[in-house]
Amino acid sequence: MRRWFEERLGPVAYVLLGVLTIVLLALLTWGIGARNLMAAMVAGGGLAVVIVMGGSFLLVPDNMRSQETERMLRLASVTLVHLRAGLDQVSCRAVCQLLLPETQAAAIAMTDTERTLAYVGKRVSLFGTGTPNSEPTNEVLASKRIQTFVGLDRLEWLDVTGIDEDIEKSRRVHAYPAAIFVPLVVLDESVGVLKLYYQQASEVDRTQMAIARGLADLLSTQLTVSELDRQAELTARAEVKALQAQINPHFLFNTLNTIAALTRTDPAQARTLLREFAVFYRRTLENSQSLVPLSVELEQTQRYLHIEKARFGEDRIVESMSVEEGCGEVLVPGFIVQPIVENAVRHAMTEDGPLHIDIQVATDGNDVLVAVADDGLGMDEEVAKKLLEGSSQDAKGGPKGTGIALRNVAERIELYYGVGSGVEIISRPGEGTCVTLRLVNVAPK
């Protein structure tokens, strides 16, 4: 009744309620003053009715709007889960089932750019899953504009070939006389159509048009988010491959030369190093494809240091590592600690004396911090800043690619762990460098 009252009478009704309240208050005052019991009773009863109506029509709508907002937020959350992987038959059917109760439509369908992916409705569909898109559907895809159709079932039927004759005989029984088609647009490209079918043409009004447009906008937004996530992930993987291509050949040639030299002086160590290198290289390729436990990434880092110590000498690199309990199980993108340690070995080592590298993993509230510190050459603040911006200069000012590696690590950490995650560099010339990775909200409970 509240909805009828608001739609039929609108703001005028609220003005009338106010005027009626003033009149009844005046009547109540006069009735009490004149000791007219009947007038006072009528005024009091009238005020009671006004209070009830006012509470229903003025207070309830706010509550209803709050509930409506919560309902739409839940709907947005659920549809995002279903559309995370894009448009497919399973996700589209689940979304159609969610959306149908939100409209007055008798049926809802979703398509991609070629065919119907899902149909949910009260009647049997002539255009089931896999049916090629009709001419009206293609019109909406091309125009990227919402359109309404009358006599649509026949229009769509003419575009569908290869349907059994028995279905043609029952077409009139299952026909929907009107519909609203809305394009689903991702990054300014039509990727599908949301179709709302109605049993009567009179049901297609401004309200239903607004609902259809709103639902399509919601789905388009969710699909855009999914597409951006997919592109970001592909970009991150491509950057890992690029980083491997940049670092691994340099490391590969040096390691092979070291092994070749050891075959003459220490064949047993050469065999051990060759096995270690084979495991290292295989893990490098595997770890770029998915998240891995931090303990696995640290093991890979230790393999790298073992190989480098065979090249430079055991006394030239001294490493230490401390991992807070539970932190080793935290999932991280592969190839985020070893490149930082490799940078230290390649660019921070002095001409003589050992390079100390200390790796610390600890929690900081809900975050996990991974710190790689060395006592090497160090750098000034300006150089450190350029490294995080992706500069190709190393700590000595040469075009070594250190900045590419650090920026790559920083971008992938931000991608996987969100706002607040990233890389911090603290360094002083002649004293050393500390690179800290912050992984937000992953601390073990």
Tens digits of residue pLDDT in 231-262: 666 565 555 555 554 455 667 778 888 888 88
In terms of Cα–Cα distance, which of 243, 232, 233 is closest to 336? 243
Q: Whole-angstrom Cα distance, residue 273 to residue 271?
A: 5
| CB contact at 8 A, 415 and 238 | no
For 123, which DSSP code? S
Neighbours of 348 (CB within 10 A): 22
Q: Which residues contact 91 (CB under 8 A, 6 or more apart)?
A: 82, 83, 84, 85
Residue 223 or 48, more confident: 223
The stretch 257-281 carries a mean pLDDT of: 84
- pLDDT at residue 360 in the model: 96
Take residue 47 and report the two structure tokens written for it: 């005020």
pLDDT band at 382 (very low <50, low <70, confident <90, very high): confident
User: In 142-297, at which residue ranges do the beta strands (DSSP E only) sit?
Assistant: 147-150, 178-186, 189-198, 291-293
Q: What is the pTM of this model?
A: 0.49
- pLDDT at residue 77 in the model: 59
The edge-to-edge listing of strands for the beta sheet with 107-111 is 116-121, 107-111, 189-198, 178-186, 147-150
Sketch the domain layout of the chain as residue ranges: 2-81, 84-204, 228-439
| CB contact at 8 A, 442 and 367 | yes
| CB contact at 8 A, 182 and 139 | no
332 has which bridge partners?
Answer: 292
Lowest-confidence region among 41-50, 215-224, 389-398, 410-419: 389-398
Q: Per-residue pLDDT for 171 more than 80?
A: no
Measured CA distances, 435 to 208, 351, 390 (Å): 56, 22, 15
Q: Per-residue pLDDT for 443 more than 80?
A: yes
- pLDDT at residue 253 in the model: 77
In terms of Cα–Cα distance, which of 164, 162, 158 is closest to 138? 158
Residues in the chain, overall count: 445
The average confidence (pLDDT) of the chain is 75
Q: Are strands 317-323 and 355-364 parallel, antiparallel or unpaired?
A: parallel
- pLDDT at residue 269 in the model: 85
Q: Per-residue pLDDT for 436 more than 90?
A: yes
In terms of Cα–Cα distance, which of 29, 410, 121 is closest to 243? 410
- pLDDT at residue 19 in the model: 67
- pLDDT at residue 383 in the model: 85
Take residue 331 and report the two structure tokens written for it: 């999932």
- pLDDT at residue 434 in the model: 94
For 101, which DSSP code? G
Q: Whole-angstrom Cα distance, residue 7 to residue 2?
A: 9
CATH of domain 84-204: 3.30.450.40
Q: Would you call 35 helix, strand, or coil by DSSP?
A: coil
| CB contact at 8 A, 216 and 146 | yes
SS (H, E, C) 403-439: HHHHHHHHHHHHHHHCCCCEEEEEEECCCEEEEEEEE
Q: Per-residue pLDDT for 61 more than 60?
A: no
Neighbours of 170 (CB within 10 A): 12
Q: Per-residue pLDDT for 315 more than 50?
A: yes
- What are the pLDDT digits (tens) for 76-131? 556 666 666 678 888 888 888 888 887 888 888 889 988 888 888 866 555 566 78
Take residue 137 and report the two structure tokens written for it: 């559907």
Q: Whole-angstrom Cα distance, residue 335 to residue 240?
A: 8
For domain 228-439, give its CATH number from 3.65.10.10, 2.60.120.10, 3.30.565.10, 3.40.50.1980. 3.30.565.10
